[in-house]
Amino acid sequence: KAGVTQTPRYLIKTRGQQVTLSCSPISGHRSVSWYQQTPGQGLQFLFEYFSETQRNKGNFPGRFSGRQFSNSRSEMNVSTLELGDSALYLCASSLGTGGGSPLHFGNGTRLTVT
Amino acid sequence: GEDVEQSLFLSVREGDSSVINCTYTDSSSTYLYWYKQEPGAGLQLLTYIFSNMDMKQDQRLTVLLNKKDKHLSLRIADTQTGDSAIYFCAETAMFSGGYNKLIFGAGTRLAVHP
């Protein structure tokens, strides 16, 4: 079974631009979560989607948004990019939303904002 | 509040056992996880334990949970150079409607030397 696929692997953008990252979950998984990983803040929860609905959201500004499609694929968007948005963005999928449904992560998209 | 703490670095000799420790704060956490991250990659799920268990063994991996002290450990038997990576401990966080938000520790960098 294919794992979680994230595209693109690398992105370089300039301040003020916007970016869209894509995530294809493991087949059959209906929940998709997004995390930001930086050296300073570590792994921080962005949001979670289940059946096309955002169920939970982390403490990030409104510039960070996402959506989930009917095939469970998800995208996240960051508008008006800032230098501090440079990070590894990780997508994870799981069967359900309970704690007993472990998250399976993709290899991430590394975003560099210059 | 929610917080997960880990020591930042561990160095072991090849063939020895490694023990990575973690403390967490949320006593309502139902599941606790261990993930591994190699350079340039995402997070690989190693194992997880339900909070009503004390121990879980999976091949070379042994997880011990002391719920009273909120202490979790991961023991890797016969550590190999391929085990060199960053290991993250994570707890599930209570979230209205679901539990799929994970709180991660800062990660323990395991270095295996001959």
User: What distance in Å separates the CA atoms of residue A35 and residue A41, rounded to the nearest whole number?
Assistant: 11
| pLDDT attached to residue A11 | 97
Q: Is A31 on the interface with B (CB under 8 A)?
A: yes
User: Which of chain B's residues have a Cβ under 8 Å away from the Cβ of A43?
Assistant: 43, 88, 102, 104
Residue whose C-alpha is closest to residue A90's, from A16, A4, A29:
A4
A79: its two tokens: 């508008």
Question: CA of A4: which chain B residue's CA is closest?
Answer: B42
Q: Which of B30, B97, B104 is the closest to A55 by Cβ? A: B97
Q: Count CB-CB contacts under 10 A for residue A20.
A: 14
B46 to chain A nearest CA, in Å?
10
Considering only CB atoms, which chain B residues are within 8 Å of A103?
Answer: 33, 45, 100, 102
Cross-chain Cβ contact B41/A103 below 8 Å: no
Tokens of residue B72, six digits: 């979790």
Q: Do residues A48 and A30 touch, judged by C-beta distance below 8 A?
A: no
Q: Is A98 on the interface with B (CB under 8 A)?
A: yes
Task: Classify burial at B100, counting beta carbons within 10 Å of its beta carbon; exposed 0-12, middle 13-18, buried 19 or more.
Answer: buried
Q: Which residues of B touch A107 (CB under 8 A)?
A: 40-42
The per-residue pLDDT for B74 is 98
Q: Is A84 helix (H, G, I), strand (E, B) or coil?
A: helix
Q: Is the pLDDT at B73 greater than 80, yes or no? A: yes
Closest by Cβ to B99, choosing from A98, A104, A105 = A98
Q: Does B31 touch chain A (CB under 8 A)?
A: yes
CB contact A42 to B (< 8 Å): yes
- Does residue B29 carry a pLDDT above 90? no
CA distance B55 to B49: 8
pLDDT tens, chain A, 114 aa long: 789 999 999 999 999 999 999 999 999 999 999 999 999 999 999 999 999 999 888 999 999 999 999 999 999 999 999 999 999 999 999 987 766 788 999 999 999 999
Cα–Cα distance for residue pair A103/A96, rounded to 1 Å: 9
Q: State residue A99's pLDDT score.
A: 66
Q: Check pLDDT > 90 for residue B11.
A: yes
